[in-house]
């Protein structure tokens, strides 16, 4: 089986839309959460989110093309260009049929759907934009990246809610492992901060609605006072390469993608199984695939959504999977700073793991003031910590 490495990163996030700024803010415990500005949230129960604030789209996409895309594609194309530049790969050289892209989204072009629904109701079907379908379908981000970088190999989108980004990267790594491509761009993208999306999640009681006056403290994974996640937006794309190819061209290697595991607990549409069995099996599958043992894992970037059920069940799954080693591993939820980027979360958090390995620093879980007695691991509270990392694990759990 061929070895797969990460050689490029691109990030668009609420805490920074350049990798260096993103990492500096995460390791400094900077929150990117604030009051929603995408629309007037006054009548909503949940009024806070992690919005992208510093992305200059003109750096990445011509103005004319911007108008033909949904924001989730804006984020993806921008992150992909950053990742390609970071990797140093010459996309004009080499065989384009040996390069591909897998970038997914949980909700796709939801802002386009809402906008064009308003248009058809107010002005009739003849006024609906001809770009409606290309803007809204969830595979368009991956397709546009393929067009931009002439990636003629495998190209598709994964849609598995909040596991989307992780599934995309895992699938892409396996495509390279089995020899169907030499280079893949992979990750997730999401632009879900819209009235319908916020109202829908809020009606499920999934969102934090108690910190509207203090947004930066709203996402508090593993804290006893947590009451829901804070929605975020953005994208993260990684460049995956076959190791020997990357070595020959002198690429900077962040880390190896050593193992990947995926499971379904087959339990409920939204709630995790109370025994954490599905999550436990996914962790064990990833370790087995990597040929690693629980005592070799130094860092876990937790799914850590700040919901009462997820954080408790995830903690249980980590303890079950790692056994005695769970007490020694550092676990942090960077969603405490970025919010929950839904389909982009797995991409963002893979980038976090790559950077943590590269720099030897574990980012913190901020807002952890009153630990939940049922969440009793080392969650790296409030301050980052230096640590030479052998294996890092990224958990991503999705509805369904």
Residue in the structure block whose two tokens are 């203090």: 214
Contacts of 230 (CB under 8 A, 6+ apart): 33, 46, 48, 49, 50, 207, 208, 215, 218, 219, 306, 335, 339, 340
Residue 346 and residue 169 in contact, taking contact as beta carbons nearer than 8 Å: yes
Q: In what order do the strands lie in the sheet with 99-104?
A: 155-156, 99-104, 183-190, 234-242, 4-12, 255-256
| 236, 12 Cβ separation under 8 angstroms | yes
* 361-362 vs 255-256, strand pairing mode: unpaired
Active site residue 208: no
353 catalytic residue (yes or no): no
Name the catalytic one among 149, 167, 211, 340. 340
| Beta strands in the chain, from DSSP E residues, in sequence order | 4-12, 34-35, 48-49, 99-104, 155-156, 183-190, 234-242, 255-256, 297-301, 330-332, 361-362, 385-386, 391-394
User: 149, 167, 211, 303: which is the annotated catalytic residue?
Assistant: 303
Helix, strand, coil percent content, the chain, rounded in steps of 5: 40, 15, 40
Q: Respond yes or no: is residue 303 known to be catalytic.
A: yes
Query: Which residue is it, tokens 């009739």?
Result: 124
In the set 74, 101, 162, 208, the catalytic residue is 162
User: Which positions are annotated as active-site residues?
Assistant: 162, 303, 340
């Amino acid at each position: 089986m061929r070895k797969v490495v990460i050689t490029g990163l691109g990030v668009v996030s609420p805490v920074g839309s350049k990798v260096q700024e993103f990492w500096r803010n995460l390791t400094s415990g900077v929150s990117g959460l604030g009051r929603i500005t995408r629309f007037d949230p006054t009548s909503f129960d949940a009024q806070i989110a992690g919005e992208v604030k510093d992305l200059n789209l003109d750096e990445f996409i011509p103005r004319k093309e911007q108008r033909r895309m949904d924001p989730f594609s804006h984020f993806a194309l921008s992150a992909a260009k950053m990742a390609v530049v970071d990797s140093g790969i010459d996309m004009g050289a080499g065989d384009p049929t040996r390069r591909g892209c897998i970038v997914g989204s949980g909700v796709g072009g939801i802002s386009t759907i809402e906008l064009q629904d308003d248009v058809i109701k107010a002005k009739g079907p003849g006024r609906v934009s001809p770009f409606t379908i290309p803007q809204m379908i969830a595979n368009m981000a991956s397709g546009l990246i393929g067009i931009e970088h002439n990636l003629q190999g495998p190209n598709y989108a994964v849609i598995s809610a909040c596991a989307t980004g992780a599934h995309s990267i895992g699938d892409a790594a396996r495509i390279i492992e089995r020899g169907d491509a030499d280079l893949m761009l992979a990750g997730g993208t999401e632009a879900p901060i819209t009235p319908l999306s916020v109202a829908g999640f809020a009606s499920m009681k999934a969102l934090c609605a108690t910190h509207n006056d203090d947004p930066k403290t709203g996402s508090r994974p593993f804290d006893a006072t947590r009451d829901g996640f804070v929605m975020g937006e953005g994208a993260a794309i990684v460049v995956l390469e076959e190791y020997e190819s990357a070595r020959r061209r002198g690429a900077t290697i962040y880390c190896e993608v050593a193992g990947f595991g995926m499971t379904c607990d087959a339990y409920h549409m939204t709630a995790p199984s109370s025994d954490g069995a599905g999550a436990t099996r996914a962790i064990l599958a990833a370790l087995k695939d990597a040929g690693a043992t629980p005592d070799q894992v130094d860092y876990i970037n937790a799914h850590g959504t700040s919901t009462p059920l997820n954080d408790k069940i995830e903690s249980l799954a980590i303890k079950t999977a790692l056994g005695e080693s769970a007490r020694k591993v550092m676990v942090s939820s960077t969603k405490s700073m970025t919010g929950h980027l839904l389909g982009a979360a797995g991409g963002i958090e893979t980038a976090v793991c790559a950077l943590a390995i590269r720099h030897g620093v574990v980012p913190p879980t901020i807002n952890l003031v009153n630990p939940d007695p049922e969440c009793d691991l080392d969650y790296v509270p409030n301050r980052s910590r230096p640590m030479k990392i052998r294996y890092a694990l990224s958990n991503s759990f999705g509805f369904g």
